[in-house]
């Protein structure tokens, strides 16, 4: 009995370790995206049967994770809604992205993504946004709430329009990684009142002019803000409901 008991315990322990990989964050993905059926045995299972490794178990440097993030890495830094403070060094909630995950979700090429785009109005400006996950509808809700905000505070409109862009199949500046703009799931608001870490000359200094009232409305509808990154991009909002 003793000889059988020990291996069984080891087997249970090993099994538990495997299943533990599908943590509470994996459940957030299942809840946020209807295309995902479940997480099982450390794999994200899509509705069509496709599977992807959730956590590769690697603990790499900041730069390496940016280049080779697994799906679990996207939760490495917690995103906090509402009020914010100057982010600590290299604290970029949501900036770790798994390229294969987004390609599977929105399209593996520019042509595939374009088939799922639609044109909507953003404060009178025509923009292209993906219909996947109803992002186009979510962005219209953002616009509606922002318009009501602008009625109360007209001075805020200058931050919102003209938009600096939505869909464009491209890599992030200075990298080989695709931008979320490539999938039509991101919007940049008025660049004139925005700040971007790569524009800083000389010593790094966090900068921002975007009012928190605007940020809260985007977050309400599932969009995270690049102003909460150490590598700040204050014009940038992308649809990432699993982080909210």
- CA–CA separation, 22 vs 221, rounded Å? 26
**pLDDT per position as a tens digit, 202-233:** 788 999 999 999 999 999 999 999 999 999 99
C-alpha dist (Å) from residue 157 to 21, 117, 150: 44, 26, 6
For residues 148-157, give the mean pLDDT.
Answer: 98
Of 48, 151, 66, 158, give the one whose Cα is nearest residue 105. Answer: 48
- CA–CA separation, 157 vs 9, rounded Å? 63
Domain boundaries, given as residue ranges, for the chain: 1-55, 62-243
* Ramachandran angles phi, psi of 176, nearest 5°: -110, 10
C-alpha dist (Å) from residue 234 to 31, 36, 146, 155, 205: 28, 30, 17, 18, 13
**pLDDT per position as a tens digit, 55-70:** 999 878 999 999 999 9
Of 235, 230, 190, 237, give the one whose Cα is nearest residue 91. Answer: 230
Do residues 65 and 52 touch, judged by C-beta distance below 8 A?
no
**pLDDT per position as a tens digit, 167-185:** 999 988 878 889 999 999 9
Tokens for 73, please give them: 């890495």
Do residues 44 and 102 touch, judged by C-beta distance below 8 A?
no
* pLDDT at residue number 41: 96
In angstroms, the first-to-last Cα distance of the chain is 50
Tell me the whole-structure pTM to 2 decimals: 0.90
Confidence check: pLDDT of 127 > 60: yes
């Amino acid at each position: 009995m003793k000889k059988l008991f020990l291996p069984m315990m080891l087997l249970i322990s090993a099994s538990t370790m495997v299943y533990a990989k599908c943590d509470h964050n994996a459940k957030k993905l299942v809840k946020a995206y209807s295309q995902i059926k479940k997480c099982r045995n450390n794999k994200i299972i899509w509705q069509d049967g496709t599977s992807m490794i959730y956590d590769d178990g690697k603990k790499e440097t900041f730069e390496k994770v940016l280049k080779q993030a697994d799906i679990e890495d996207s939760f490495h830094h917690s995103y906090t809604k509402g009020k914010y403070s100057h982010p600590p060094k290299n604290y970029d909630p949501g900036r770790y992205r798994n390229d294969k995950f987004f390609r599977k979700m929105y399209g593996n090429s520019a042509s595939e993504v374009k088939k799922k785009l639609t044109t909507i109005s953003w404060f009178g400006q025509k923009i292209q946004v993906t219909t996947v996950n109803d992002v186009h509808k979510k962005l219209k809700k953002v616009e509606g709430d922002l318009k009501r905000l602008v009625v109360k505070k007209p001075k805020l409109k200058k931050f919102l329009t003209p938009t600096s862009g939505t869909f464009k199949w491209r890599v992030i500046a200075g990298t080989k990684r695709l931008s979320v703009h490539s999938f039509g799931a991101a919007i940049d608001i008025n660049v004139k009142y925005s700040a971007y870490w790569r524009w800083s000359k000389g010593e790094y200094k966090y900068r921002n002019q975007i009012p928190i009232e605007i940020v809260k409305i985007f977050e309400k509808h599932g969009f995270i803000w690049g102003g909460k990154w150490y590598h700040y991009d204050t014009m940038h909002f992308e649809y990432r409901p699993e982080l909210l």
